A and B are shown apart, each in its own frame.
Chain A
Amino acid sequence: MENDKNSQKIVDYIQNFARKHSIFVLAYGTGCGAIEIPATMTSRYDAERFGIRGAATPRQADVLLITGYLSTKTLKRVIRVYEQMQEPKYVMGFGSCTINGGMYYDSYNTINGLDQYLPVDVYINGCMPRPEAVISGFVKLQELIQQGKAENGKKYRENLEHYRTNQKKIIKNWRMPDYNW
């Protein structure tokens, strides 16, 4: 995305500028962290002033928020949702459970480390992260988008085999559609 003058092309700059100011978050809550989202979206913290708002369906969404612990049963649905999303698409890991398992590190039914299964752009630590932390994570994501560094949809396509191997290790009965992105 950079030209020979070591800066972005003007087209890319405008494109990224537009992208970073209209982040549509898929309304999909996993785990306990989804309770922080209403507080982030409503009038006190008002995330919409950053252009962050909800989207009802995966095909219209840009960001998939994994809010808290992710059980192996939910992982199957999350993968399916993520693969339906249109590029550019971003994943945010929310809370310590997505980072290293958190308090469920030895649970038989929740994954440890989200980035083994989906490419994660931004992690927000905390248990639970407060709305300020969530907004700070979104601002970080906006910076990445502006610099043209948030290209994890492409990374997922290119390293699909690696991610599939890890996913199939947990989801033994694999009955998922194949997409030809």
Chain B
Amino acid sequence: MNELINENNLLKKVATAYNIKGNVIRDRRVEVFANKELVSSILLYAKLQLGYVHLAHITCIDWIEEGDFELVYTIWSPVERIHLFVKTRINRVNPEMENIDGIWDQANTYEREMREMFGIQFPGLIGEHEFILEDWDQIPPMLKEFDTHKYASETFFTRPGREDAQDVRETLSKRSGTDVPDFAKKYSRET
């Protein structure tokens, strides 16, 4: 059984340096929770002092019930071989986050994508506003309040289904003269 010595050491270092909380999720996975002001400092500290030189990903999660966006910065050390997740919450109203493409150049791409898909602003971010979407005039599409089904049915042409479409299980049971099994009745179309 792995004793998780490296993981606990890493968590202790980061947590005591910044007085923040965190967990060891499992072997090679450590998460810390920080304020949004602290994030760039933690990332710089982990990169320069602890050897976490690789930015693997930046994720955004929309917590619409709690009124927050959660940003997860995943960084990795090729020496210790541990993923460190730096998690932070920002307000959903006028979301704004610090631009970290001075620390890692590739963060620019992730930030442009989040600006387009979630509407998060990164002051000082250089790059075209139009990144993946073209001619988009709605609210950012990855937001939970964006009703993608409604948008698709209004914008695109839906093809009507076949009139003679049959339920497979009922057709088979009629053909063989047996009953539909109990567990399958809740999926029946003939109700």
Contacts and interface: CB of A to CB of B under 8 A. Distances in A.
Interface of A: 72-73, 76, 99-101, 105-109, 111-113, 116, 166, 169-173
A73 B130 CA distance: 12
Interface of B: 132-135, 137-138, 141, 146, 148-149, 151-153, 155-159
B152 A106 contact: yes
A113 B159 contact: yes
Given A100-B159, A108-B141, A111-B156, A173 B134 contact: yes
A116 B157 contact: yes
Interface of A, secondary structure class, is: loop
A100 B146 contact: no
Contact of A112 (B137, B141, B146, B158): B158
A30 to B, nearest CB: 15
Contacts of A101: 152, 156, 158-159
B142 to A, nearest CB: 9
B10 to A, nearest CB: 39
A166 B134 contact: no
A107 B147 CA distance: 10
Nearest to B149: A106
B175 to A, nearest CB: 24
Nearest to A173: B135
